[in-house]
Structure 1
Amino acid sequence: MAADVDSEITNNSRKMYFPLLINLGMSILAYYLTVRLIPGLKDKFIKANLFGIDMSKTTSDKVPESLGVVTGCSFLITMFLFIPIPFANSLFNGEFPHNEFVELIAALLSICCMLLLGFADDVLDLRWRHKLLLPTIASLPLLMVYYVNFNSTTIVAPKPLRDILGVNGLETGQSVVIALSIIIFNVIELFGKLWKAHQFSLYFMLPYTATTLALLKHNWYPSKVFVGDTFCYFSGMTFAVVGILGHFSKTTLLFFIPQVFNFLYSSPQLFRLIPCPRHRLPKFNSKIDRMEISTTIFRYSELNILGKFIISLFRIFKLIRWQEKDGVVVTNNLTLINLVLLYCGPLHEAKLTAILICIQIFFTGIAFVIRYPLASLFYDV
């Protein structure tokens, strides 16, 4: 009896660790290949007119854009090559886990669709009403598999909100912090009853983190490449996949506290309660080489009741800079980046990025506190 128990434990350990070790090795290889691949493709992107000018620099050099597609492709190739590994033992035993296989394929299909749609957005510069449809379309395979396998249509889908953008290294830096947070959570839970769900998540998070670190190496200040909307779409769907199919979407959402706050803070402009300029990024002051808050201008009397109430509330809690003359109001654009600059004053771009990533790390700690010591207050446990 004891021998059978020991044999089962050994077998489960092999099922748990062997695929993860292979995945980790492939992820490390993907990192080095992606680091070398990105510089080699920069000129091709510029030649294809996929480039931008860094408005936060005094130079006007062309910086290749949409390099997130390279990271996404490296991730997908790694995952495609990895597909047989988790199921190798089952092929010989004759007990093939079809549900798990379908989940993996559907997850990769959704990520692949989102990567394609994100790149289309970068190339075609789609309108916002079209952008809103893209995640819905790309997530259909994922939602169908979830419904068929778990007979449920009620899920909490983590949605990393894409409004904190435009500063060198910020998108990739925050994504790495979130990915590492999910990995830590998966490793903690790997020894529990739902270890298979967290093993599934690690299959995606390890190569995602590796390829994103490779992109971060080139995207960090001073940025040699821009990631584009492609990376944001790709990252969002990858986090949604592991959160939903890994059955920890509420916990995943906790790792997006800064993004959720940014969305709520930005809502008055996003929903046009107060004027929203096309670009809300901080302004670059070339004289002092610092980033400063960007502003919006409006007449207070022209706001509706809700707009007046919200803007007054923000003013009471000192969440905005308020300058008024002859009924014309000048205030900062409502983004987390501008809020940090409001409290800290003009900052060098590298320092601003570091502060925002530190905020992400701090709230990751808060998320773990909510998830474990305070779990009974937030979850049905």
Structure 2
Amino acid sequence: MWSIIIVIILSVIAYFITDQLIPNLKDLFINAGLYGVDLCKNSKNKIPEALGVVSGCIFLVTSFTFIPIVFGNGLMDRESFPHNEFAELLAALLSICCMLLLGFADDVLDLRWRYKLLLPTVASLPLLVVYYVNFNSTTFVIPIPFREWLGASINIGFLYYIYMGMLAVFCTNAINILAGINGLEVGQSVIIAISVIVFDIIELRGDQYKAHTFSLHIMLPYLATALALLKHNWYPSKVFVGDTFCYVSGMTFAVVGILSHFSKTVLLFFLPQIINFLYSVPQLFHFVPCPRHRLPKYSAETDLLQASRTVIVKKDMTFLTKTIVQILRIIQLVDVKEDSDTIVMNNLTLINLFLIKFGPMPEVRLVIMLMLFQCLCSCIAFVIRYPMASYFYDT
């Protein structure tokens, strides 16, 4: 317990350091050409990009500072030194550090999407190696209703490592594609982090005490630095976080989910991101035309955001495209306008879905609604994890 208290103290310090550094480094990023313009506002002021690298660096430095404090006593007695726990922490920080580097490279070089899928896979390798050495548990517990046919558990072997690698890829990119308005990337990450911390605190009394203590050691400094970044990224944004923050955040959640053995629970906290991903699949895989930016459209006259749209030329439509559009129309998940030659429909993101269901609205109201939806989904996740789980598992 004393180690958690120390982490809390270090995290509070990290918050204030991050809060002071971000405004002091803004001009440095602009002078280096790392800046953008907020497309959802009238103002064309330069806003520094990739400031997620600042919060990411402070998060890692705080975690590095924590190492000698926690493991210092073990250095005096090498026979009792917790080598496995030390290896887990180093692998976790190495994977996060790799994503910090690769995310910043993406912000600077604007890498193609195929690299955004490859980079998290490479960065997760230290994590998977340590998991193999320390645990190598590749068994899934079968839900009670299916045990008559499949048994109590099933060992899927190497497929489990593919699943964990895909988890890292999903977490990093899921936050990245649910983005585009002030405070959304950091806001959703903060709510997920708080959800994980609450889950850890609940589980501290269980038999996985060490695993959830490890998770808290990582999540508390992450949350502190993310909150400091959110202060500057909230509407109206003074800084943009860039892909760096999304990559670091996704890998951090993947790290605690894998090494603390609750990867399925982590996915429950990603319900809005899963919904957004499934809704976006037709455009992500180019079954439906996908523009470079799917940001909501800003109206300067009303100062409101409305759903952005994509154009489908009817003569170029495949059978699959026609089927997808028709299904989306039937279940009322798209707003379609068509003439003899084209079909115009909203871009397939959760942000645009909110705008077609609730109508045009100010940016700050939209991000608050999305954050409330994230909170609602976290509450649903806890209901699934505890009351409902007893119907499917022996808990």
TM-score class, shorter: over 0.9
Q: Mapping of 1:220-239 within 5 angstroms? A: 220-239=234-253
Q: Which runs of 5+ in 1 are unaligned?
A: 1-16
Which of 102, 110, 131 is residue 95 of structure 2 equivalent to?
110
Distance 1:282 1:378 in 2: 41
Which residue, out of 19, 25, 31, partners 2:9?
25
Structure 1 position 85 matched with structure 2 position 69: yes
Please list the CA deviations of residues 276-297 of structure 1 after superposition, one character each: whole Å capped at 9, or x if unmatched: 1111110110100011100001
Structure 1, residues 199-246: CA drift from partner, whole Å, max 9, x if none? 000001000000000000000000000000000011011000000001
Q: CA deviation at 1:89?
A: 3.6
Structure 1 residue corresponding to 2:227, chosen from 191, 199, 213 = 213
CA RMSD in angstroms comes to 1.3
Q: Residue 5 of structure 1 corresponds to which residue in structure 2?
A: none
Displacement after TM superposition at 1:305 (Å): 2.1
Distance in 2 (alpha carbons) for counterparts of 1:130 and 1:174: 24
Q: CA deviation at 1:87?
A: 2.1
Please list the CA deviations of residues 2-59 of structure 1 after superposition, one character each: whole Å capped at 9, or x if unmatched: xxxxxxxxxxxxxxx1100000000000001100010000000000000000111111
C-alpha distance in structure 2 between counterparts of 1:141 and 1:120, whole Å: 20
Structure 2 Cα separation of the partners of residues 190 and 196 of structure 1: 8
Displacement of 1:379 in angstroms is 4.9
Name the CA distance, whole Å, in 1 between partners of 2:68 and 2:208: 22
Per the TM alignment, residue 308 of structure 1 is displaced from its structure 2 partner at its CA by 1.7
The 1:380/1:296 distance shift into structure 2, 3 A limit, reads farther
Q: 2:378 aligns with which of 351, 364, 367?
A: 364
1:103-134 C-alpha deviation (Å, 9 max, x unpaired): 00011000000000000000011111222211
Q: Deviations over 1:51-95 (max 9, x none)?
A: 000111111100000000000000000000001222234334540
For 2:66, the aligned partner's letter is F
Bigger shift: residues 153-162 or 234-243: 153-162
Alpha-carbon distance, 1:148 to partner? 1.2
Residue of structure 1 equivalent to 2:84: 99
Deviations 1:120-162 (A, max 9, x none): 0000111112222110111111111111111244155443312
Q: 1:144 aligns with which of 121, 129, 147?
A: 129
What's the TM-score once normalised by structure 1's chain length?
0.93
Match of 2:324 in 1: 310
Distance 1:298 1:380, change over 3 A: farther
Q: 2:261 aligns to what?
A: 247
CA distance in 2, matches of 1:91, 1:277: 55
Matched, 1:58 2:50: no
Post-superposition CA distance 1:281-332 (Å, at most 9, x none): 1011010001110000112453222222221111011100011111410100
Q: For 2:355 and 2:394, how far apart are their aligned partners in 1? A: 39
Q: Distance in 1 between matches of 2:292 and 2:394?
A: 42
SS at match of 2:345: strand
Distance across 2 between alignment mates of 1:82 and 1:52: 35
Which of 260, 265, 270 is equivalent to 2:279?
Answer: 265
5+ long unaligned stretches in structure 2: 138-157
| Corresponding residue to 1:178 among 192, 195, 208 | 192
Identity %: 60
- State the secondary structure of the residue aligned to 2:311: strand
* Matched AA of 1:111: I
* Higher alpha-carbon deviation: 35-44 or 318-327: 318-327
Structure 1 residues 89 and 191, CA gap change in structure 2 (3 angstroms): farther
- Residues 242-277 of structure 1: CA distance to partner in whole angstroms, max 9, x if unpaired? 000010000000000000010100001111111111
Q: Look up the match of 1:203.
A: 217
Using the alignment, how far apart are the partners of 2:394 and 2:91 within structure 1? 29
User: Quick one: distance in 1 between partners of 2:196 and 2:253?
Assistant: 9
The change in CA–CA distance for 1:379 and 1:115 in structure 2 (over 3 A counts) is farther
What SS does the corresponding residue of 2:80 show, helix, strand or coil? coil
CA distance in 2, matches of 1:377, 1:327: 52
TM-score (norm 2): 0.90
Number of residue pairs the alignment of both structures matches: 365
Distance 1:168 1:126 in 2: 23
When residues 379 and 49 of structure 1 are mapped into structure 2, their CA distance, relative to the original with a 3 A threshold, is: farther
2:149 counterpart residue number: none
What residue number does 2:154 align with? none
Provide the C-alpha distance between the structure 2 equivalents of 1:345 and 1:120, rounded to a whole number of angstroms: 37
